[in-house]
Structure 1
Amino acid sequence: MSQPPSSPPAASRPSLPCSGCGAHLQYEPGTAGLSCPYCGHRQEVGAPTREVREHAFATIVAKPRRPAHELAAHHYDCRNCGAHVQGGALSRVCQFCSAPLVADTTDDPQIVPEAILAFGLDRNAAREALRTWTRSRWFAPNGLKKVADAESMKSTFLPHWTFDSATTSDYKGQRGQYYYVTETYTATVNGKQETRTRQVRKTRWYPARGRVSRRFDDVLVTGIDRGPVDAERLKALEPWPLTSAVAFQPDYLTGHETLRYDVEPESGFAKAKAEMAPVIEQDCRHDIGGDVQRVSHVDTRYDAVTCKLMLLPVWTGSYVYQGKSWQIMVNGCTGEVHGERPYSVTKIVAASLAALILVALVAWLFITYG
């Protein structure tokens, strides 16, 4: 069976030399510039020459491009040690000399990022966020609180899609109104039967239909659906300060790994619709009114759909506890941490026993004095 044609290998982009010692500069998290890891010289990243733009969805999907599985590896020529390195990322470091390598995206067969959210946390701040996280875990072994560092912390830009849309939704459903009826029942009190009454809530249902509208802005969808990145864990790092994003510049990638997207914009928009659906349903329920609502059908039209590809900063790594490696991710802007963690069986059993004792005590008090 013939294989689909692959895209031609992309060339590497020349790295910026340090004017102080000639080494390669790399972007310094938490700043607006590049720094030299050897002599400490700093150089500001030039101010963006344009604003972040939203692109019409129809224009994006019409662009000629290749899906991720058809892309050839980038060929990086390290200008520091002369090594020839291959890889699928937009940026990385040389495995031989750790010099920063950035791919040239001029003729990229994928959609080029429109915006980037720079790292606000440096490596030390990411480690401190990890320490705070390990100390605050419920039912964690006591020894976990002593974890002071990550085995490896790697700064990585991860691709995401954002979608904007004006939505108009026609719905059908039912509006429920509460009413109360008086019921008579027999109760045994101190060995005697007594007749008592109580108010019982019931619901009358009325047909409802209508139309609601909403404008969605920057619905965020992860651009990675396979590989080493856990999409659900990445989702847990939200929210992101998206309004702080700036127009994409390759200089921000220097010294950090940048992954390509494998979720195409069409699939991304389908996921964005799934994110919008609960909000639209809530709008329908609010429009129906009453005491309780049922929504049986919603037909939504999406107009003025725009999207953009942007890169978000994540510290990825692992920490070691009792000989096992546990994976974690840190939001490179807010310090939010999410990842794997151990549980203390002793603490869980003790909490369960305490809960059972409390339930038994309440039941005994109710039987004795109720």
Structure 2
Amino acid sequence: MAMDTQAIAAVGFPCTACGGPTRFDADSRQLKCDYCGTDQVIANKGGAPKEHALPDGPEDDEEAVSTDWGVAQQAIQCEQCGGRSLIPAAQTATTCAFCGSPKVLVQSGARGIRPESLIPFHISLSGAADRFIAWKRKRWFVPNAFKKGDINAKLTGIYIPYWTFDANTSSSYSAEVGVYHYRTVTKTRTVNGKTETYTDRERYTVWHSTSGYYDRSFDDVLIPASGQYDTVLLERLGNFDLQQLISYKPEYLSGFIAERYSLSRSDGWKQARERMSETLTKEIRSEIGGDEIRSLRIATDYDDRTYKHLLLPVWNASYNYKAKPYRYMVNGQTGLVSGRVPRSALKITLFVLACVAIVLAALLLYVSYDGSTPS
């Protein structure tokens, strides 16, 4: 499988042996020289990732947050897909890392909040390619030529921005709870022209009011701050182990691209709050119990709100199959693959026909068996 790494030359991290450029190597977790192959340890004594208090007002304090990425950066934006990223100032980008478009424009203006922490790449370029090959061979309903053939994909290492949010919640709730009860009733029916009585078990619901309080803490609710991927694709990729977060250092970005966040911190909090609210509703309904719940009302206070801005490693690839574009991503920490693949209309049709045949066969067997049963 042909690959285009779109790698950025290292800036400011010369090799201690020969002075050549170095880039971060996912296999050794160190800087590796492009010329002599010497490895350099990245000294990182930054401690645990920092949590920042989430302000109540608008984002007027972002100037107080660090925007120094450690190396001179320039913002670029793709004309085709609108993707925005940050690359070293000396780098000239000719192809978009997101969609493969050859037109990328240098942007002026703010660089954005620098992340406090990141997870460096654990999966190498070749490792990501191998993961995709194994993944596509296990897909259902894809053309055999695609499953077994080589795919000419442009594979790029990107640090995708995320927000994480923490909060302590205190909720008060009220609702009506329905509990099922059963009673035996006498009914009549007509069988072969004759009326007969029989007993049946009938269900009815007894309702009562309830109320209470529910406390719950949320830690590291992860919200993608990227605007280049649909939510489903990123959710499938999101099995990151945030316990491996380390303090940001620009050396980890050497050889990769860092995407600039397009979802603001306040919008990220709105999404996190919606997730928290959904979780609270589910858990409170479970707390209430009963067989049915109606008129549920929940009022929640969110206290001790904090956030982190971080970068997570992803290998991104775009490819064409029979003139149609597709995309896949590989989690740069765990190797999990998420993507879209071409489908075989013939395989899908044959599968549907096989399912219909099985249903018809089962139906015929049931009718045959039922017809042979004595009345």
TM over 0.5: yes
Match for 1:298: what amino acid? I
Structure 2 CA distance for partners of 1:249 and 1:130, relative to 1, 3 Å: same
SS in 1 for 2:237: coil
Q: Tell me the equivalent position of 2:221.
A: 219
Give the conservation status (yes or no) of the 8 Å contact 2:46–2:246: no
Matching of residue 91 in structure 1 with residue 87 in structure 2: yes
User: Does the Cα contact within 8 Å between 2:161 and 2:310 map onto a contact in 1?
Assistant: yes
Aligned-partner SS, 1:312? strand
**Is contact 1:27-1:252 (8 Å) kept?**
yes
Match of 1:40 among 37, 40, 47: 37
Q: How does 1:175-194 map to 2 (within 5 A)?
A: 175-182=177-184, 184=187, 186=189
Q: Which residue of 1 aligns with 2:68?
A: none
Note if contact 1:173-1:295 (Cα within 8 Å) is conserved in structure 2. yes
2-side partners of 1:41 and 1:220: how far apart? Answer: 36
Identify if the C-alpha distance between structure 1 residues 329 and 196 changes in structure 2 by more than 3 Å, giving closer, same or farther. Answer: farther
Question: Are positions 1:25 and 2:22 aligned together?
Answer: yes
Q: What is the match of residue 334 of structure 1?
A: 334
Is the CA contact (8 Å cut-off) linking 1:240 and 1:333 kept in structure 2? Answer: yes
3-state SS of paired residue (1:119):
coil
CA distance change for structure 1 residues 131 and 198 in 2, over 3 Å: closer, same or farther?
Answer: farther
Gap regions ≥5 residues in structure 2: 1-8, 65-71, 76-82, 96-108, 371-375
Contact 1:160 1:220 in 2 (8 A): yes
Task: Find the residue that maps to 1:283 and give its secondary structure.
Answer: helix
Partner of 1:308: 308
Residues 318 and 327 in structure 1, CA contact (< 8 A), matched pair in contact too: yes
- CA distances 1:59-103 after superposition (whole Å, capped 9, x unpaired): 99451449xxxxxx9549xxxxxxxxxx953335834899xxxxx
Deviation at 1:20, TM superposition (A): 3.1
Q: Is the 8 A contact 1:174 1:208 kept in 2?
A: yes
CA apart distance, 1:340: 1.4
- Find the aligned partners of 2:295 and 2:28 in 1 and give their Cα distance: 49
Residue 237 of structure 2 aligns with which residue? Answer: 237
Distance 1:221 1:75, change over 3 A: closer
SS of residue in 2 equivalent to 1:48: coil
The gaps in structure 1 that reach 5 residues or longer are: 1-11, 67-72, 77-86, 99-106
Deviation at 1:115, TM superposition (A): 0.7
Residue 133 in structure 1 maps to residue 130 in structure 2: no
2:50 corresponds to which of 46, 50, 53: 53
Taking a change above 3 Å as real, the CA distance of residues 213 and 154 of structure 1, as seen in their structure-2 partners, is: same
Are the counterparts in 2 of residues 285 and 294 from structure 1 also a CA contact under 8 Å? no
How does the TM-score come out when normalised to structure 1? 0.80
Determine helix, strand or coil for the equivalent of 1:313.
Answer: strand
- 2:212 corresponds to: 210
Alpha-carbon displacement from aligned partner over 1:150-202 (angstroms, at most 9, x marks no partner)? 5111000011000000011112222221222446464869x999765543444
3-state SS of 1:130 partner: helix
Q: Which amino acid aligns with 1:355?
A: C
Task: Write the distance in 1 (CA, Å) between the matches of 2:93 and 2:313.
Answer: 24
Whole-angstrom distance in 2 between the partners of 1:273 and 1:185: 55
- Root-mean-square deviation (CA, aligned residues, Å) is 3.1
Distance 1:277 1:159, change over 3 A: same
User: Deviation at 1:324?
Assistant: 3.4
Q: Is the 8 A contact 2:29 2:122 kept in 1?
A: no
The whole-number CA distance in structure 2 between the counterparts of 1:297 and 1:367 is: 50
One-letter identity of the residue aligned with 1:90: L
C-alpha change, 1:315 and 1:192, in structure 2 (3 Å) is: farther
- Aligned to 2:171, the other structure's residue is in SS state strand
Mapping for residues 258-337 of structure 1, pairs under 5 Å? 258-294=258-294, 296-337=296-337
C-alpha contact (below 8 Å) 1:91/1:253 kept by paired residues: no
Q: CA deviation at 1:300?
A: 1.0
Change (3 A) 1:94 1:284: same
Is the contact made by 1:212 and 1:283 (CA closer than 8 Å) also made in structure 2?
Answer: no
Q: Answer whether contact 1:158 1:314 (CA < 8 A) is retained.
A: yes
| Mapped contact 1:147–1:321 kept (Cα < 8 A) | no
1:167 to 169, 172, 186: 169
Equivalents in 2 of 1:74, 1:45: separation in Å?
Answer: 20
Q: How far 1:219 sits from its partner (Å)?
A: 0.2
What code does the residue aligned with 1:236 have?
Answer: R
Name the % identity. 32
**Counterparts of 2:165 and 2:17 in 1: how far apart (Å)?**
43
The alpha-carbon deviation at position 215 of structure 1 amounts to 0.4
CA distance in 1, matches of 2:20, 2:196: 92
Supply the distance in 1 between the matched residues of 2:222 and 2:29 (Cα, whole angstroms).
25
Tell me the amino acid that sits aligned with residue 28 of structure 1.
Answer: D
User: Counterpart in 2 of 1:367?
Assistant: 367
Aligned-pair CA distance for 1:220: 0.5
- Report the Cα offset of residue 357 of structure 1: 2.1
Distance 1:56 1:94 in 2: 35
For residue 85 of structure 2, give the secondary structure of its aligned residue in structure 1. coil
Kept in 1: contact 2:157–2:315 (CA 8 A): yes
Q: CA deviation at 1:272?
A: 0.2
Tell me if the contact between 1:127 and 1:149 (Cα under 8 Å) persists in the aligned partners.
no
- SS of aligned partner of 2:287: helix
The corresponding residue for 2:254 is 254
Deviation at 1:280, TM superposition (A): 0.2
